Chain A
Amino acid sequence: MSASALFRTACTGRAGLPAMARHSKALGLLPSIQAALFSGSGSAPRKKVMFPGALTSEYTHDLRFASSVESIPTYQVMDTDGRVLDAANEPHMSKEEARNIYKNMLILNAMDQILYEAQRQGRISFYMTSFGEEALIGSAAALDSKDHVFGQYREAGVLLQRGFTLEQFMNQCYSNEKDLGKGRQMPIHYGSKELHFQTISSPLATQIPQAAGAAYAMRREGSKQCAICYFGEGAASEGDFHAGLNMAATLGCPVIFYCRNNGYAISTPSIEQYRGDGIASRGIGYGIDTIRVDGNDIWAIYSATKAARKIAVEQNKPVLIEAMTYRVSHHSTSDDSSAYRSTKEVEDWSKRDNPISRMRAWLEGKGWWTKSEDAEVTKAAKADVLRAFAAAETLKKPSIRHLFEDVYDQLPPELERERAEIEGLIRKYPDYYQVNEFAK
């Protein structure tokens, strides 16, 4: 089944009668519908309710609670060995494009390994890796480069695919004078106006209603662009998730909500995070076209995102993608996941279903990649990362004036006073304030 067909399966409300009928069946209401239809003369139609809040509902005489619907299927293009299961679903992708995507997966992996170690050595303060979730890059490859990204924090792969350079990653993690964020946020809080990637903020799910608003603005511009909003299944418990999806659905916003369901929110497993059929089932509740995909299958992600983009931009409405994956990494460098899950569980996962090896197997099957290239690319990537890393490490921290700027467009008087006070202290106690570490 193609991705767009699956969207239709999961579609509710506006999709019209077929979806409704499926729902009735799923809710176990079909027998009562039949009873109503064929009772008495056998031709009396079931009566629709008149209430404004549920215009497609019909009366029933069965006292029955709706508790579950059929589980939403998980769209897959290739199996865990990289074999395409239905040739019709294979994405149209040039050799160069496909190789470039795969290289970015390897580079992301290499960067994560080095920066993770750098944090362990105390050279940067914090880091978050994407181990096990590298297939996310497939979503970025499916977007237009001017679509606006509202990320959560584990979307470095999206930035890499968009062209954020290793130097830019390193400068941010080092909070040095070339950091676009001017050293004001913890590592991995990337952002780039040039790449249409809104700066990451730590509070979870706040980006969800923001992405809806941004999408509404893009719709008004008539630019045929959309927003994509990434978040985890844990963030989907926040009020902002529900606010954002409801706003986007009711206001017709061209936005792709992309849930990275990686099984864990720090230590809390998804079974303790929610009930019901995952995050996808919430999308249907909000009347949003929804699909669940194999989040370790880069082509399933790619195709679903491409189809979602088409719906969003052409029909001006939101789409929800729930990508099922597994967080091989610890939550962050402040977390040791062996405290709440066995290392064997993690090892088994990365052996059984690894997005990188799946993609490599696919490329090899096409004759577009040889095993030896893996080592070459990884080696080169590590060398590039280390070079960028070493350069970033030698740069100074941003100028102290950036402490005061950008709170407002201009410095208000109280901030001018505070700046004067701090500058006086810096002159008086330069050693304490380590002024030589900062750029002029």
Chain B
Amino acid sequence: MFLRPSLSRAMLLGSRSSSATPRLAPFLRPQSRGYSSSVDSSVEPIRGLDLGVAHSKLLLRTVASMRGNTELQAQGVSEGDSKKMNMCQAINDAMRHTLASDDTAVVFGEDVAFGGVFRCSVGLAEEFGNERIFNTPLTEQGIAGFAIGMAAMGHTAVAEIQFADYIFPAFDQIVNEAAKYRYRSGNEFNVGGLTIRAPCAAVGHGGHYHSQSPEAFFAHVPGLKVVVPRSPIQAKGLLLAAIRDPNPTLFFEPKILYRSAAEQVPTDDYVLPLSKAEVVRAGKDVTVVGYGAQMYALENAIQMIERDMPGVTCELIDLRTILPYDADTVAESVMRTGRLVVAHEAPRTQGFAAELAAEIQERCFLRLESPIERVCGLFVPHPLVFERFYMPCAVRCYEAIRRSLTY
């Protein structure tokens, strides 16, 4: 069964702050039930700080800030036209560019034709026709297998799995088929034209089956690429890169950002590099790594740390691609800071943070000043009413960074 949070709900996202230690408690504002309110409940000042996606300094909201982005400059699109887009619109724009520039490209999945339950494919069927933008029956393994078959013919298949929580029926097709297609055939065949998009991660009211972050399952599989964007500009450039990359790629979209994250996005076609992390904020004392929506909790945690520990600066890195991932950028940072905190929403046990921690421990052993901290989802199924406790929120990230710095 596929439950679909209404769009208005999808727009209104759960808080990332939390009832916390006595030290923080006086500064926490009593919360209304975020999902039934018209207020963005992710905005919650902690001692004068405006928190959450809506106030993030990571988002390039102005033309000037967008033009200062070196990757967009390198792509030659920073000086061109741009438009305010949320992440949903940016993804739509990326697919539009794909469809316009590649005649073999098709976009399909459950309810995709009318625009998709999150509206990411809205308008595409009208513009490019029902033969290229189409609904499929409710069968994730069928969608994945069908996409693999199209890609094996050299076509570009952009398949949508309605929620990342429902990707598991397609696990065999993705892990045993797509990932091994090139290798097992001795490069006689490949499915490089395959991209699978899936909305992932917590949304405040998604419970077990509309909240999961399954990236680590796929990050264990040679042959796949796994990407998680943090913002509209990132989503457009990374999705275009994923679609054009000659390897099968999974593109997990933090659904909480579809509407809450808006940026001034170049309207031209551009790609951002896969397997390249981005240092989004330089610092000297601790390296903090995340990806997707987690970046905003980490940003807030850093703001709180730097306020509470004057003189301390934190380096914030967005990994962007989970597989194959950019360990070099993280290691280079940790060699300077000596400390590492990794955070993601998926449970900690066997999670991606464990992989990164092990890799960095090997590379930076003699430079480490404190144990590598992992701040992750708890080892429980994503719990509806307890989501605030489950989440690696700004408070938990703050505590972990503080532990790392004061070890």
Contact = CB atoms under 8 A, between A and B. Distances in A.
A414 B324 contact: yes
Interface string A222-238: 00000100000000000
Interface stretch (A45-53, A78-86, A155-163, A240-248): A240-248
B21 interface: no
B141 A240 contact: yes
Interface stretch (A87-95, A197-205, A318-326, A376-384): A197-205
Interface residues of A, number: 50
Nearest to A206: B177
Interface in A219-273: 220-221, 227, 239-240, 242-244, 246-247, 250-251
Contacts of A407: 182-183, 222-223
A193 B185 CA distance: 9
Nearest to A245: B142
Contacts of B223: 407-408
Interface stretch (B34-42, B152-160, B295-303): B152-160
Interface in B253-311: 275
Contacts of A206: 145, 172-173, 176-177
Nearest to B248: A408
Interface string A200-221: 0101001011111111111011
Contacts of A414: 324, 327
A201 B144 CA distance: 16
Given A247-B139, A251-B136, A407-B223, A210 B149 contact: yes
B142 A246 contact: yes
B277 to A, nearest CB: 12
B180 interface: yes
A310 interface: no
Interface string B162-197: 000000010011001100111111111110100000
A179 B188 CA distance: 11
A284 interface: no
B30 interface: no
Nearest to A212: B146
Given A192-B188, A209-B173, A413 B328 contact: yes
B137 interface: yes
A431 interface: no
Interface string A171-191: 000000001111011000101
Contacts of A240: 141-142, 145, 172-173
Contacts of A408: 182, 223, 225, 247, 324
A223 to B, nearest CB: 10
B131 to A, nearest CB: 7
Interface in B103-144: 104, 106, 131, 134, 136-137, 139, 141-144
Contact of B146 (A180, A181, A193, A213): A213
Contacts of A184: 183-184, 186
A162 to B, nearest CB: 14
A62 interface: no
Given A206-B172, A244-B142, A247-B146, A214 B183 contact: no
Contact of A243 (B139, B189, B246, B324): B139
A246 B139 contact: yes
A259 B323 CA distance: 38
Given A203-B177, A407-B222, A409-B247, A211 B149 contact: yes
Interface in A249-302: 250-251
Contacts of B155: 217, 220
A217 B146 CA distance: 10
A416 to B, nearest CB: 10
A437 to B, nearest CB: 18
A220 to B, nearest CB: 7
Interface string B234-247: 00000000000011
A237 B144 CA distance: 18
14 contacts: A203-B172, A208-B145, A210-B146, A214-B153, A217-B104, A217-B153, A220-B104, A240-B145, A246-B139, A247-B137, A250-B137, A409-B247, A413-B324, A414-B327
Given A181-B184, A210-B152, A213-B147, 19 more contacts: A180-B185, A182-B186, A191-B189, A193-B188, A198-B185, A209-B139, A209-B146, A212-B142, A213-B148, A213-B153, A216-B146, A217-B104, A220-B106, A240-B145, A240-B172, A246-B137, A250-B137, A407-B182, A412-B275
